[in-house]
Structure 1
Amino acid sequence: MMTQMMDILGPIMVITAIGFLLGRSSIGFETRTLSTVVILVATPALIFNTLTSLDITPETIGTMSSAALLCIAISGALGLLVLVMARSSVRSFLPPIMLPNSGNMGLPLVLLAFGPEGLQLGVAYFFVVSVVQHSVGLSIYAGGLQLATIARQPLLYSVAAVLLVTWTDMPVPNIVMVTTEMLSGMMIPAMLLLLGTSLATLKVTDLRPALLIAVSRLGLGILSAVFVIAFLDLDGLTAGVVFLLATMPTAIVNYVYAERFQHNPRQVAGSVVTSTLVTFVCLPLLVWTALGISERGSGADAQLSQAMTRTETSLGATYTND
């Protein structure tokens, strides 16, 4: 098990550390250009290539999309309650609580833990989270629906193309598949480099809201995953992927929008850093739980509940020891 964990977590830690060192260095690593390429080119290419080159059905896409939407909705509803009780800014901190970093950290983890089949399911989950991030999340920070900005997202058109191909069995030209495969290959390492660079450059200016968001994101991610797995009767690989992606830390794009619309950007930046560090500490336990869930298969509600209880107990012990 230790070797398996090192094989899964090792590459993620190393590439993130490289990004961190680049962010700390004086070479002038251009993150804005790289992030733009990832959003406009690599992400749509990965979604299209992965979901059309592998044997995925509309039913599978529907299942993963439903799981993602439910996890976001549950985290959002409970997160709203947490923020109201804590008298914190809903407009600033609700997106960081409800929207996980299923791209930068989630997809590499899913690929290393579950292989190409897991990545296929993970991409189907990720594109829903990404669409919500760039529509609902953007609109919350902007204070209103930004239809023009949303319509310019290439991600939406790649999703539409995937649905068209999967529903009609339309053949995709080989040149399109090869091109999107080459372009999508840059996404995962680029995302990890950006994650590391963000950790090097973002600062924690106020620890209280940062901890509130970090603990809420992880705790509500676990709760939403437990509910959705049981409610949708998920099992095996699907359940493992949903659990892992639902428990990812706060998405970096929340800071981008907070800075753009000037809603406590420094505090949101602190929540990104703190949430990511908390998740990194808990990552071996989260991956172990996800692997255990994926191996149990169907009809394992009792075992799933026990696994969740062990995870929450261990996490509680971690926070207590800290």
Structure 2
Amino acid sequence: MNLALTVIEITAPVFLLAAIGFVWIKTGHEYRIEFVTRLAMTLGVPALIFTALMNTEVEPAALTAISLAALTGYAALTIIFFAVIKIARLDVQTFLAPLIFGNTGNLGLPLALFAFGDVGLDYAVVVFAVMAIGSFTFGLWLVSGGASLGTIVREPIVIATLLGALFLVMGWETPRFLTNTLELVGQLAIPLMLITLGVAIARLTPAGIPRAVILGIVKAGVSIGIGWIVARFFQLEPTAFAVLVVQLATPVAVTSYLLAEKYGADSDAVAGLVVTSTLISIAALPLTLALFV
């Protein structure tokens, strides 16, 4: 009973914030999702990543270990899901990136914070940064059919990740007034992303639901399994172990739908993956967390 209450306390704020966005749209209120998404992805999330990396109190060796583990995990997911897509005769441009790169921002960061505190958030930011670089380089290349290097290096998340890593390695810090400002901006990210997730789900017009359900279940099972195997291989300490598994297990991200819409992939099919995998995660993520809390 105590375990169930703990898991509910951790997951309820995440899904309640998403529910606020869902209800907001269903009751007829305006929500400019492109503006809010751009605000979060251009200012909020980069500021969060930069300050979290700069201020982290996690030992450098532990950060290196979880970075390598995250890279290995995403590489393994790439190979496995590429094989699944080929066997199922699905379109690589449409399906591969969404299956690899989960919603580590909207769901993973707040879950890590609520479940494991500031240390958990530090680890989660590292995994999110690895995912973001992969998503906005290899993932963007997949969805767009070959994005230019200029497009990739201009992404604020990529810039913030590289700068944060540089400040971490060199031991640098921004002036206190600037750090305070960036931390305030970074605090925008998590609530905005969660509410926007609910708004996006309320507006999506999903297609191919039976196929999306199967892929959503496969994604959850494979991602949890890979996370567990990789975390054991790298002998991550308990909090890092849990964060890696949870981050890899997050559902398909709303940004996958936005990229599919922008670059001409089958956005309705991706919308189906977003909706079904998010619904599956309502059960899968609490069960996964229950293994660690």
Residue 48 of structure 1 aligns to which amino acid in structure 2?
F
Q: What letter matches 1:140 in structure 2?
A: L
Residue 264 of structure 1 pairs with residue 241 of structure 2: no
Aligned residue for 1:234? 236
Look up the equivalent residue of 2:206 and give its one-letter code: V
| Among 201, 207, 226, the residue aligned to 1:199 | 201
1:224 alignment partner in structure 2: 226
Alignment match of 1:185 (pick from 184, 187, 204): 187
Work out whether 1:144 is the aligned partner of 2:159. Answer: no
Distance (whole Å) between structure 2 residues aligned to residue 30 and residue 14 of structure 1? 20
Aligned partner of 2:290 in structure 1 is 288
Is the CA contact (8 Å cut-off) linking 1:244 and 1:290 kept in structure 2? no
Q: What one-letter code is carried by the residue in structure 2 that aligns with 1:156?
A: V
TM-score (norm 2): 0.95
Which residues of 2 match residues 85-234 of structure 1 at below 5 A?
A: 85-234=87-236
Shift of 1:221: 0.5
SS in 2 for 1:203: coil
Q: Tell me if structure 1 keeps the 8 A contact 2:132–2:158.
A: no
Match of 2:54 in 1: 52
Q: Which residue of 1 aligns with 2:66?
A: 64
Alpha-carbon displacement from aligned partner over 1:6-61 (angstroms, at most 9, x marks no partner): 21112112111101111223221111111001110001110111122231343333
Q: 1:205 and 1:171 mapped to 2: Cα distance?
A: 48
Q: What are the Cα deviations for residues 176-207 of structure 1, in whole angstroms up to 9, with x where unaligned? A: 21011100111111111011111111122212
On the 8 A contact 1:46/1:180 being kept in 2, the answer is: yes
How far is 1:280 from its partner? 0.9
Q: Show CA shifts across 1:207-244 (max 9, x none).
A: 23312321221112012112211221123111011111
Q: Is the 8 A contact 1:244 1:286 kept in 2?
A: yes
2: CA distance between counterparts of 1:77 and 1:208?
A: 24
Identity %: 30
Q: Residue type matched to 1:214 in 2?
A: G
Structure 1 residue 271, shift from structure 2 partner = 0.7
Aligned structure 1 segments of 4 or more residues deviating by more than 6 angstroms: none
Alpha carbons 1:43, 1:155 under 8 Å: kept: yes
Q: 1:155 & 1:137 partners in 2: Cα distance?
A: 14
Q: Distance in 1 between the 2:118 and 2:129 partners?
A: 16
Counterpart Cα distance in 2 of 1:260 and 1:213: 23
| Helix, strand or coil at the partner of 2:107 | helix
Moved more, 14-23 or 211-220: 211-220
Separation in 1, partners of 2:92, 2:211: 12
Question: Which whole-Å CA distance do the structure 2 matches of 1:164 and 1:96 have between them?
Answer: 29
Code of the residue aligned with 1:24 in structure 2: it is K
Paired letter, 1:94: L
Give unmatched runs, 5+ long, in structure 2. none
Amino acid at match of 1:180: L
Given that 1:135 and 1:146 are in contact with CA atoms closer than 8 Å, whether structure 2 keeps it comes out as no
2:125 maps to amino acid: V
Structure 2 counterpart SS, 1:290: coil
Aligned AA (2:210): R
Contact 2:206 2:268 in 1 (8 A): yes
Q: Is the 8 A contact 1:138 1:146 kept in 2?
A: no
Q: TM-score, normalised by structure 1?
A: 0.87
Select the structure with the greater relative contact order (CA < 8 A; seq sep ≥ 6): 2
2:42 maps to amino acid: L
The answer to whether the Cα contact below 8 Å between 1:204 and 1:210 also exists between their aligned partners in 2 is no
Task: Please list every run of 5 or more consecutive structure 1 residues that lacks an aligned counterpart in the other structure.
Answer: 292-322
Provide the residue aligned with 1:301 in structure 2: none
Contact in 2 for aligned 1:222/1:247 (Cα 8 Å): yes
Amino acid at match of 1:200: A
Q: How many matched pairs?
A: 291
